[in-house]
Amino acid sequence: MLRIKITAEVGRVEGEHTIVDRVVREYTITYGRYGKHNAALGYAYASADAPGGREADAERFSALVKALTGEEPRIRRRSDGTVEPVCGRKHLDGFKRFDELADAIERWLEETKR
């Protein structure tokens, strides 16, 4: 497994320079290899305790991942109420743009390929 931890201050902009609804959150994306094609998939969980609940947390996470990787993650809503953002290989490739993550991601991909 590969875990990527991101701490971010997120909010929305009103007007030209005013940031409102600031929230500091720590997110963990856990990547694994799944299925017969050994697909690299990363899962994160939206917290019900976050300001605005699970849906708002998933929306903030999605915006953060899109800003970092250029790709918006898929949001999976489970029947038990869990909101689960899902990141794929495109997101992992986007995270490789960051020097702090590039070597670890490449090493993990090499170690887990079939």
Residue 43 DSSP one-character state = E
Residues 69, 42: Cα–Cα separation, whole Å: 13
29 neighbors 94 (Cβ within 8 angstroms): no
pLDDT tens track, the chain, 114 positions: 999 999 988 766 666 666 667 778 899 999 999 999 999 999 999 988 888 889 989 998 999 999 999 999 999 999 998 899 999 999 999 999 999 999 999 999 999 998
What is the Cα–Cα distance from 26 to 50, expressed in whole angstroms?
A: 10
Rounded to two decimals, the pTM is 0.86
- Each domain of the chain, given as residue ranges in start order, spans 2-112
